Structure 1
Amino acid sequence: MADTVSRSWFAVFPNPEQHGYDGTPEEIVEKLKDEWIAGNALRKGWWGYCISSKGLPHVHMVLEDSGSCRFTKVKKAYPTAHLEPTKGNKKQVLQYIHKEPPYDEKGEQVLVYTSYGNIEGNKRYSVTNTNDTLATIEMLIEEGMTPNQIMAEDIRLRREETLIRKCYFAKRYKETPPIRNVNVIWHCGDSGSGKSYSYIELCEKYGDDNVYFFSDYANKGIGGFDGYNGEPCLFMDELKKDSLPFELLLMIAQGYRSQIHCRYSNCFALWNEVHITSIFSPEDIYSGMVSKENQNKDTIHQLLRRITKFVFHYKHNDEYKSFELAGNQYIGFDDLKKRTAAHDAFYQKAEKEVL
């Protein structure tokens, strides 16, 4: 063990109070962190103060250096700690130290924790040369990781962002059927009525990594999808009359496996749920995107038939409310407001006051 080297070490430090670490659990883990980092910004780590089912206080530590670190070096820093090379990958390590399934232990409590940097865990690959890098990218893509997840594994992989995105979308393109069902939800209502907050609710429902936030409409939306990584849910915030070409909006709302122009590397439409927020009705958006001379050919029905559901947002004092209507029941924006008024007496009163 004395000759063992690893970039990541896992340690269990029992009874820290008996080894010169006084104070609260928060103060103890902060002191341990400061000792390990010691001005070396390239080091990383995680420290958690725990109580076992038998009442034994101990600290779990993940200690990582910029290069391989010998066992004797870490043991010298923490002579009473049990040390071994980190065995799990980053996800497994985080699950273990947070005591999440399948590593939860009955009676084990994590009282407080702190961290420094982005721990990596045990890596199964190397990026020391071009062949290793390409093999690593191929392996991680085959495991189902997204470009963002892959590049988070090692900062050096960011140099291959274009290659990673092309390989990722090539794989996803093969896995995606030519046509798929896409649910389109149109969020409307006045400013400040809670439309954009729907993004937070979607992140809580699906997870941040599964919702793509689109708000860059510069140059007719070119560049807005530069960061798209195949997220299944697309959230388009504050759509306006001149935000996009009408044909692009239709393509976004349909279920074809379409290629989307990006500034650096094109991507493919792989989402199955689209949320659009706007203070404008679909009719207003349509009239701003399609000139009158073209409205006989590019009809608004192309857009309306793609919308699965309408959500009308409004606010009563400090309470945010909404009314939902199936897309096939939508007659017009005025009718939607009337249905909302019939659903909510407060909104009905507010509408009468406006009139």
Structure 2
Amino acid sequence: MAVVASLPNQTPEQPGIQSLVDLVSAGMEDVNQIILAKAGSNVDLIPEIARHLISSGGKRLRPMLTLACAQMFGYQGAGHVMLAASVEFMHTATLLHDDVVDESDMRRGKLAARKLWGNQASVLVGDYLLGQAFKMMVDVGSLEALRILSEASAVIAEGEVLQLGAAKNIQTTEAEYLRVIEAKTAALFAAAAEVGPVVAGQSDAMKAAARSYGMELGLAFQLVDDALDYGGTSADLGKEVGDDFREGKITLPVVFAIERGNEQERAFWKRCLEGEDVSDSDLEEAIALMKKHGAIADTVERAKHYGANAVKALEQLPSGAHQDALAEAVAFCISRVS
């Protein structure tokens, strides 16, 4: 698997993550080899499903954070590679589980694994990948890194349950939604960044700064995805535009549109989010209401706020090429919807 990152619709004028890719390329080659090896099994269905998702692209941003946040301290060991592979397996397992819970048909522009092999196989292979992730964490021999990533795994599961409770609930507030994505998405970004200075033997201050960077970047990343679901393209998302709407998901643009809408508009949201049969015209109406109330634009502004927080956290970490590349990753995240 030679391709480290796939950047859909990126032009030379847009911020990118090429600097980050270049800095961690050697480590990512090792990560990719570990991923391919650890996804193997004597049970044929396991590598078949795992590689369907693993080989389908994605930016691999989370494991790159782990590598960069260790390398910026001059770390020379191999522990960061194993932890980066663990992070990617945790993320892949989450995607397999998410698609079952959300009943999604597409993932990264391909049919979701559950559509090809069924829900049960997808869940069980996700469990297998989590098991492999924890075995690799143990092999690294850092109890602190194991604690951080295992806590993240539990928090992610909590976030999924929180999102399930918020689904189709038009009373969901901005604060409640931010709590969901902090757990569901940002927690893994935070842990991925934090274990870099951990394995490099750095101070609590450096660990906290890396964790803060990852958390704020994760929040920005998810909010940009939320905006793209209503204002982007299928190429940007790797899935159909409007999937969140069709699945009855409450995201920040929806929260804003509902809060700012009149009684008739709130009735529209209630019907669509609680209904089973949502039409293309309903999606068009939803997007029109969001534009009317500035819901997409304000979601992007929130993302920029968290992105700025991420860059501020970076200022506490060692200056140099790695710090610059991590700042560029923030700019890239925001640029996807600019």
The reply to whether TM is greater than 0.5 is no
Q: Which structure dedicates a bigger proportion of its chain to strand?
A: 1
Superposition TM-score tier, normalisation by shorter sequence: under 0.3
Quick check: which one's helix share is greater? 2
* Higher normalized contact order (CA 8 Å, seq sep 6+, divided by chain length): 2
TM-score, structure 2 normalization: 0.28
**Could you say which structure has the larger radius of gyration?**
1
Q: TM-score, normalised by structure 1?
A: 0.27
